[in-house]
Chains A and B, each alone.
Chain A
């Protein structure tokens, strides 16, 4: 069974994100970039499936600028068998990425696509769901446990009310939550081996996908600074303030 793991290159989670001076987006020049942490969890899960003998091949795929190759090399060092870059300098929105991934799926025929539930840059939480819909496959989102057997995946999902366990027929799309696993540290020998693993580059045109943005970003601003809090003497004042000042009750 082949597992496809889409990985996104994002601003590293340790970096304090800054808005560009002209308000068109987030500053990414000279900023440390890394693999989206949710995707790292997805990749770890796929590799564990391979190590358990459930999967036979793990293919990492990333859509975006040439620098995404670095993210793919990291994926190969973590343990993916090969990698595909869908090269595009355009702004790629979730729907465009889902369409590109659908085209890659048509080419690769994976039984399972595992990806992060969202990327920590735009937090869209859309690509996995859109991909499942476009493919007409089952989807199991926000996974905190995955078991694959006999053509089905049993997935425990983290939902607002607690845990929800479902069984989906393969092929399927799974999106990962934070507690699914703890990704491994990359070993030095695997970094060295990663260089020799295949990395293929595809063009959106060749895949027949129009990646033109459907949404327009009007303005990006920093969130307003939090105001200092006030101490209230008693519960009565609190309720009064919530009702009349904050107007939330």
Chain B
């Protein structure tokens, strides 16, 4: 079984040439994130990912987490790996220095998180959720809550969870019922929560649950939801652990993938909880963190695509089957066959395009936070808001597609668990569902991010792409010119779709929303193509200047060209689905669906 090797050459290229790491490192508080230091961090993180996390990925999937009498045992080796993760100080990477973190930018955390997830997606979820819970407390927790919980969560000594979903309240949190009765300086939380990632485990002595619940006199719907901290063990004033709180894991789910990650059903029985921020503003706080959380899941799509690609590549070089179409003779490794090549190129080019878009978005997240100019911050924030549903929706949908291609490259062996190809496909499958399904992302994109502001940010982005066309026009490379033509068609498709959405969102939103997912995919493809074109221009310049790695640069140009012909070309078809196809989406009566 092939081992994970972090694609450090591509990661560095994207960080430095496309996402502008040097620029981010100039922002106040990010001075430590110099290219040298970032390089050292990437090297060591890649070692940890390959040597500690990757070897547990397959066994973790086979063994799975186990529940017994309220306790959860993670698969063999996971607890030890987590201990080493904590010793390495990795959990504190993006956390503010105030809480014992390194305060590094999102752009540096992003490749590191990609590596954790490529090596072992199940493992990476616990740190990710801890990061989310920590972030919520950092933004809205009282000074006392912060002092009690943040340092231990930053170090990773305690982990965090997010308790949102209930059996009747999934995508629609307005329906949630968990109660919070005020009692002195705290609340008593009662209710059931499901799908709680790492809601119970054997890694740490304490778990910090963030729980959405309603106070007795709260208004109906989403405006009556409050956010609470509910630790598994209560914490004394001196930081030592007290009594076991009434937050119990009553079972864990049997799932399609991410078997090593325990997905808990949590029963809260008058559990002591502390209010975060103000009553009834819980969902609003969740929304503040939503960009970071959705971005993190989008990155999982990138990570799984990379891992599935590497595994398929290793197999395609090794598996001998069929003769070379041109040369004939003896049977050859299947990588020599054009269709296998096509699949590998689809995997590689999309993984690279997604990585580029994700990292550029991470840089935008940092810029929106730390740029000294308020105007730039606001403008970049609007871009982030537009791109995050695209990164989440497109990278996860494509991650599944790439993992599916990975199975296909393996042929029959891909359908057999031993090769590990199937695991990536199963693991990837959750990414388009949790943290808002692709449908939710697409509705967010079409409704909140485009229609609500009259398409201002989307149009500004289109304008930037048209300006960029001028740069592409200067290139003498035939590959880049082909890519330029494909990108121009993609830009046209997006522009026409945006106009269509704006024309219909007001008077008949169903028409606009029927094409929301095809539109989201088109945005992903065109933005990904834009980044690949930028990459190709940089590679062309480096080749001309005889600077850097010539083999990497020529591969980058060829890969970008492939993306233009095979992926960007889909944008025009998706435009037709958006503009012409919405009528048919809603045409059938509910009775007409089944032709039995």
Residues of A in contact with B (beta carbons under 8 Å apart): 14, 30, 32, 70, 73-74, 77, 185-192, 194-195
CB atoms of A188 and B89 under 8 A apart? yes
B295 at the interface (CB under 8 A from A): no
Report chain B residues within 8 Å CB of A14: 5
| Chain B residues numbered 1-42 whose CB sits less than 8 Å from any CB in chain A | 5, 8, 32, 36-37, 39-41
CB atoms of A30 and B552 under 8 A apart? yes
Q: Total A-B residue pairs with C-beta atoms closer than 8 Å?
A: 53
CB atoms of A185 and B37 under 8 A apart? no
CB atoms of B102 and A192 under 8 A apart? yes
CB distance from B31 to the nearest CB of A (A): 11
Question: Bound state CA distance, A186 and B87, in angstroms?
Answer: 9
Closest 4 CB pairs of A and B: A30-B549, A188-B89, A186-B44, A189-B89
B92 at the interface (CB under 8 A from A): yes
Residues of B in contact with A (beta carbons under 8 Å apart): 5, 8, 32, 36-37, 39-41, 43-44, 47-48, 51-52, 84, 87-90, 92-93, 102, 548-552
Report chain A residues within 8 Å CB of B92: 188-189
CB atoms of A191 and B44 under 8 A apart? yes
Given A185-B48, A191-B37, A195-B32, 20 new contacts (CB under 8 A)? A14-B5, A30-B548, A32-B8, A73-B36, A77-B40, A185-B84, A185-B87, A185-B88, A186-B47, A187-B87, A187-B88, A187-B89, A188-B41, A188-B93, A189-B89, A189-B102, A192-B37, A192-B102, A194-B40, A195-B37
Question: Bound state CA distance, A32 and B5, in angstroms?
Answer: 12
Chain A to chain B contacts (Cβ below 8 Å), 16 pairs: A30-B552, A73-B36, A74-B40, A74-B43, A185-B52, A185-B87, A185-B88, A188-B88, A189-B89, A189-B92, A191-B37, A191-B44, A192-B32, A194-B40, A195-B32, A195-B37
Report chain A residues within 8 Å CB of B550: 30
Question: Bound state CA distance, A169 and B128, in angstroms?
Answer: 53
CB distance from B536 to the nearest CB of A (A): 19
Question: Bound state CA distance, A74 and B89, in angstroms?
Answer: 16
CB distance from A183 to the nearest CB of B (A): 10
Question: Bound state CA distance, A139 and B548, in angstroms?
Answer: 43
Q: Which of B44, B51, B552 contacts A77 (CB 8 A)?
A: B44
Question: Bound state CA distance, A123 and B13, in angstroms?
Answer: 33
Report chain B residues within 8 Å CB of A195: 32, 36-37
Question: Which chain A residue shows the least CB distance to B103?
Answer: A192
Question: Which chain B residue shows the least CB distance to A29?
Answer: B549
Report chain B residues within 8 Å CB of A70: 36, 39-40
CB atoms of A191 and B41 under 8 A apart? yes
Question: Which chain B residue shows the least CB distance to A31?
Answer: B549
Report chain B residues within 8 Å CB of A77: 40, 44
Report chain B residues within 8 Å CB of A194: 40
CB atoms of A191 and B552 under 8 A apart? no
